[in-house]
Amino acid sequence: MKVLIVGSGGREHAIAWKIAQSDKVDKIYCAPGNAGIAEYAECIDIKAMELEKLADFAQENEIDLTVIGMDDPLVAGVVDVFEARGLRVFGPRKNAAIIEGSKAFSKDLMKKYNIPTAAYETFDSADAAIAYLETADFPIVLKADGLALGKGVLICNTLEEAKEGVKTIMLDKQFGAAGDKLVIEEFMTGREVSVLAFCDGTRIKPMTSAQDHKRAKDGDQGLNTGGMGTFSPSPFYTKEVDEFCEKYIYQATMDAMKKEGRDFVGVLFCGLMLTPKGPKVLEYNARFGDPETQVVLPRMKNDIVEVFEACIDGKLNEIDLQFEDNAAVCVVLASDGYPEHYEKGFPIEGLETFKGKDGYYVFHAGTKAVDGKVVTNGGRVLGVTALGTDLKDARKNAYAATEWISFANKYKRNDIGKAIDEA
């Protein structure tokens, strides 16, 4: 079969790598792809938001399955466009992808169906938001309602910080139209855990747990980013936590979406906070996480194409989802200055070192090929992933592998997975 992947980051590289292992697949395309994805797929010069062009390509090239990696096209309705033409596509329709596209929608859904989450209020006026903050307890969390590349969340410790945050999101429009509406949420304490789950509209099967590191600098300092590294599994995600989440969060979310006439087919990403009062939902995403995918898929035993097809066909109950009894750590190599100002176009050396090294992977995020050389082309450049017998072993292997790569302005956090030592 022929498969098309939509996206251009480290997540899509990991998906392409996993799809390439399927005996069902003869040919992979990726739109628009990147220099690393090109090893497994033919990269097509169509942007992820050119929905009709993507569908045209899939139709003209008789694509058997399209996998949507990115949030923007899902929220814009790419699945609806494909389905209207009778094309098989993996991902939620527009009316289900709203669970990520609007934080106000997802918070209201959780409140309506008693899914555990933080207390919150929603505002479409900066003045009303500031008036509310003047009576609030701190710290407090401000969230831009719409998509903001994983950066539209501000944790504010004082009223002044919060007022400045409202200005940044709602008045200065730092995150564009995502800040037209604002969610103000109580600050929760505990361990953060990410769980990705396959969904077929009725059933949900969670994958292994992971933990992301959002802040740019060591010690969880600096600005929020798309993610600076991950590890899997989380030692804090116990069997008891899993059983609670299965009943009160995962299946409850699927049932809630179904009752709302928004059957969710695809990958549901549950960002959780393990609070002293039990697990609560921080946020939902409507697709694979980045860089969580880079540690989850290398541990997955199943043929991923079979799982995609089972989700589309409503037969997820026929899949026995299995993961290796090991661990994985991913360290992001970024351009110094990310997530604000950084330079691009520097040659990357050492990529060939990963060839033939079992358990070591380098997933391209912001790269492109120029005159036969791979150069930096983004803030997050590469995700270096390594497996190990346990988390400490995987962490040691991942950090050793980051030294195989060099490029000008290379930057990484040095404490990815440090929480493992406290488990």
pLDDT of residue 422: 65
Q: Which residue has the tokens 């604000």?
A: 340
Whether residue 195 sits in one domain with residue 182? no
Whether residue 310 sits in one domain with residue 203? yes
The reply to whether 259 falls in a domain is yes
**For residue 59, what is the enclosing H or E element?**
helix 51-60
**For residue 96, what is the enclosing H or E element?**
helix 94-101
In the chain, the number of structural domains is 4
DSSP 208-262: EEEEE--EEEGGGEEEE-S-SEEEES-TTS-HHHHHHHIIIIIHHHHHHHHHTT-
CATH, residue 27 = 3.40.50.20
CATH, residue 339 = 3.90.600.10
Whether residue 218 sits in one domain with residue 333? no
Whether residue 411 sits in one domain with residue 361? yes
pLDDT of residue 418: 86
How many helices (H) and strands (E) the chain has is answered by 13, 22
Q: Which residues of 99-130 are buried (b: 16+ CB within 10 A; e: fewer)?
A: bbbbbbbbbebbeeeebbbbebbbbeebeebb
Domain boundary among 69, 99, 129: 99
Domain boundary among 131, 156, 186: 186
The reply to whether 111 falls in a domain is no
Whether residue 166 sits in one domain with residue 128? yes
Q: Are 243 and 219 in contact (CB under 8 A)?
A: no
The reply to whether 145 falls in a domain is yes
pLDDT of residue 15: 98
CATH, residue 281 = 3.30.470.20
Q: Across the 423 residues of the chain, what is the mean pLDDT of every consecutive 10-residue run?
A: 98 98 98 97 98 98 98 98 98 98 96 96 95 95 88 92 96 94 95 97 98 94 93 96 97 98 98 96 96 98 98 98 98 96 97 96 97 96 98 97 98 91 64
What residue numbers bound the domain in which 131 lies?
119-186
Whether residue 276 sits in one domain with residue 369? no
pLDDT of residue 423: 57
Q: Are 362 and 354 in contact (CB under 8 A)?
A: yes
Whether residue 289 sits in one domain with residue 241? yes
Domain boundary among 66, 99, 132: 99
The reply to whether 397 falls in a domain is yes
Whether residue 216 sits in one domain with residue 155? no
Q: What residue type is 398 in one-letter code? A: A
Whether residue 212 sits in one domain with residue 314? yes
